Structure 1
Amino acid sequence: MKRLIARLWHGIRGPMQWRLLYLSQAKFMVGVTGVVRDRDGNVLLLRHRFWPEDRPWGLPTGGAKRGETFEQTVVREVREETGLEVRVGELVHLRSGFQLRIEIAYAAGYAGGGTMRLNTTEILEARWCAPDDLPEGLLESHRLLIKSSLR
């Protein structure tokens, strides 16, 4: 039976194999976060409109879109939420998260973009914070990301 299955698999090749793999595997949402720092080491934090009222502060975060790299997701999310441009650095966090969610975070550096322009549909406020002076209401997981990315 195993040989028959292997022969069938080798016989279909190409797009049909990919389609079968896609249909048989779990699907995941990918949340991508940027730990964005300016030249002085301050971290970009955003007060998110749709996050819990007691924990509205966090790093720029969003879902990866089909066809983009995770680094591109960081650049897009920061630009969409703040109008700022960033350079993406090293991967600082990767784990499977809640249910079918993968969480990824990259260090990033502020690369310009002029004046901050908030997407007020999603973001209520933005500020640059020193790592030792983070606001109340910051997601604990983001606080840990900030601290761990200092090393």
Structure 2
Amino acid sequence: MKKLIARAWKSLGGRVQWRLLWLKHATFMVGVTGVIRDDAGRVLLLKHRLWPDGRQWGFPTGYANRSETFEDTIVREVHEETGLTVQVGRLVRLTSGYRLRVEVAYEAVFIGGNLKIDPVEVLEARWFSPDQLPEGMQESHRDLLAFSSRG
């Protein structure tokens, strides 16, 4: 019976196989976060307008668009929210287990541009020394910074 199923599966072809797999399996949004550092080792934090009061500070974060690499998501999100250009480095964390979301985090370095925040999404953007982080920073982002610093 398994051989018959395997033969039938193979005869369907790639497009039909992918469509069936897409219908059968969960579809996730992918949240991508960037731990952005400058030459002095400071990290870029944003005070997010749409995040809960009391924990609005965190790294640049956004959702990947369809057909966009996660690295490109970081570059796009940082530029949209701050006007800055970054170069993406190593993958720091990949977390699953959420209902409809997967979280990905990369390190990145500042390579240019002038800080100009998107006032719709961001209240403030500043560079912080890792040992002088602001009150109201997302605890998960503090953990991410500690994890990425271990290298």
**TM-score, scaled relative to structure 2:** 0.96
Tell me the residue number matched to 2:107. Answer: 107
Contact 1:37 1:110 in 2 (8 A): yes
Q: 1:141 corresponds to which letter in structure 2?
A: S
Tell me the residue number matched to 1:150. Answer: 149
Q: CA RMSD in A?
A: 0.9
Instruction: Flag structure 2 segments of 5+ consecutive residues without an equivalent.
Output: none
Separation of aligned partners in 1, 2:119 and 2:16: 44
SS of the counterpart of 2:73? helix
The equivalences for 1:1-150 within 5 A come to 1-113=1-113, 115-150=114-149
Measured after TM superposition, the shift of residue 101 of structure 1 is 1.0
SS of the counterpart of 1:16? helix
Residue 41 and residue 97 in structure 1: after superposition, are their counterparts in 2 closer, same or farther (change >3 A)? farther
Q: 2:53 corresponds to which letter in structure 1?
A: E
Q: 2:6 corresponds to which letter in structure 1?
A: A
Separation of aligned partners in 2, 1:87 and 1:119: 20
Q: Among all aligned residue pairs of Structure 1 and Structure 2, give the percentage whose two residues are the same amino acid.
A: 61
Q: 2:8 corresponds to which letter in structure 1?
A: L
Separation of aligned partners in 1, 2:121 and 2:128: 20
Contact 1:97 1:103 in 2 (8 A): no
Ranges of 4+ aligned residues in structure 1 off by more than 4 Å? none
Instruction: Flag structure 1 segments of 5+ consecutive residues without an equivalent.
Output: none
Separation of aligned partners in 1, 2:47 and 2:14: 46
Q: 1:98 corresponds to which letter in structure 2?
A: Y
Measured after TM superposition, the shift of residue 14 of structure 1 is 1.9
Separation of aligned partners in 2, 1:59 and 1:133: 15
Separation of aligned partners in 1, 2:112 and 2:59: 17
Aligned residues: 150
Measured after TM superposition, the shift of residue 82 of structure 1 is 0.1
